[in-house]
Chains A and B, each alone.
Chain A
Amino acid sequence: MSLADAAGSALWPYVALIVFGFLPSEIWRVLGVVLSRGLSDTSPILVWVRAVATALLAAVVAKLVLNPSGALAAVPLLARAGGIVVGAAAFFATGRNLVAGVLTGEALLIGAAWWVGQG
């Protein structure tokens, strides 16, 4: 069955998911397996790779906060950034307690979103 035939069938959502969602995403994990071959867990290359991953994840956060989609876009930037800062402050004030950090940041964000919705 060609892709064009599949487009109209009940299988299409699954075919599309695998071809245009799963494979393009999974390729990086597979490449990670290949490239990690022969790297010892004390290799200095891994320190660099980890720094790249860390910077990349921080960039993902910045992107989600600065250019949000959906309902989050309706919340002012100040509340989005404030939620991150206040959540992180609560996290470190409680000895790196994830629950405290997430709940504090969420409380600020949801409170602000609710307040904006009222006004």
Chain B
Amino acid sequence: MAGPSRPDRSWLWQGARAALSFPAWTVALALLGVGSLARDVGHPIGAAMMSTVLIWAGPAQVIFYAGLATGMAPAAIAVAVSLSSIRFLPMTMSLLPMLRRPGQGTGEQLLLAHFVAVTVWSETMRHLPDVPQAHRVPFYFGFAAACLLLSTVATGIGYHLMATLPLALAAGLLFLTPIFFTLSVTGGARRAADWLAIGLGFALQPVMLAGLGDGLDLLGVGLVGGTLAFLVGRLSEARG
């Protein structure tokens, strides 16, 4: 099989450059802590780094290792991990139609989906409309692979590093995920419905946590807040 064609390679590289210009570093720094969590439960560094390659979801990795550390039953860990990753369903569904190309097989679709994570999703959704349809897949792979590789290295570094960090810096690393999610998602908001979804998402979370408990709350917020925002958006567009 021939390697990627010249234009594909150049778009792959452009994607990687867009990631390395900043977003990839924030994900990587945010995943430093996962390395130290893995060490705390006595797992080898290879497993810690593999958790980033395979799970590729900071909150799920934290739940997995924190669950092991507190002696949770493995089945309970699996359920908690799964509930925390529900966001990947709507994210994957909305991204993949933008990445279609002729002759795309299930294997490529699953690989594209595996790379889906908040940073990759929100940043590539922002960039993709400016990328010609034929070059979107290489751009996406370049962006995502740069994020994943850098984060995997960071997980390995964090395995040895984190215990020695002062509290303020450790807190700063944990804060990277919420601050980056916020900017990335609000940065991609264009329509009133987007803003409404963001506002409702924030506002409904405590309500849903109280009503549905820790786990199903995120799904509840997504369905209720997202549907309300969608309906209001449709109504206002129909009227305006």
> Which residues of A pack against B, CB within 8 Å?
10, 13-14, 16-33, 35-36, 39-41, 43, 46-72, 74-75, 80, 83-84, 87-88, 91-92, 96, 98-99, 101-102, 105-106, 109-111, 113-114, 117
Contacts and interface: CB of A to CB of B under 8 A. Distances in A.
Contacts, number: 305
B90 A113 contact: no
Given A52-B226, A55-B229, A84-B182, A102 B176 contact: yes
A110 B199 CA distance: 26
Dominant secondary structure at the B interface: helix
Nearest to B225: A55
Interface in B118-150: 118, 121-122
B93 A49 contact: yes
B235 interface: no
B200 A70 contact: no
Interface string B210-232: 00000001110111111101100
Contacts of B77: 20-21
B226 A71 contact: no
B157 interface: no
Given A54-B197, A71-B171, A91-B183, A62 B78 contact: no
A113 B201 contact: no
Interface of B: 22-23, 26, 33, 38, 43-44, 46-47, 50-51, 54-55, 57, 59-62, 64, 66, 68, 74-75, 77-79, 81-82, 84-94, 96-98, 100, 106, 109-110, 113-114, 116, 118, 121-122, 166-187, 189, 193-194, 197-202, 204-206, 208-209, 217-219, 221-227, 229-230, 233
Contacts of B193: 47, 51
A39 B93 contact: yes
B54 A51 contact: no
B172 A106 contact: yes
30 contacts: A13-B38, A14-B47, A14-B50, A17-B50, A18-B54, A22-B51, A25-B81, A28-B85, A29-B114, A29-B116, A32-B113, A33-B92, A36-B92, A36-B97, A40-B97, A46-B93, A52-B230, A54-B185, A54-B226, A55-B200, A55-B221, A58-B205, A63-B205, A72-B175, A84-B178, A98-B22, A98-B23, A105-B175, A109-B175, A110-B169
Given A31-B89, A47-B193, 19 more contacts: A19-B78, A21-B54, A28-B88, A32-B113, A33-B113, A36-B92, A51-B225, A52-B222, A54-B185, A54-B197, A55-B222, A56-B90, A57-B201, A72-B174, A83-B179, A84-B178, A102-B22, A110-B169, A114-B168
Contacts of B219: 56
A30 B51 contact: no
Nearest to B200: A55
A102 B169 CA distance: 14
Contacts of A41: 97-98, 100
Given A30-B110, A88-B183, A59 B175 contact: no
Contact of A61 (B60, B202, B230): B202
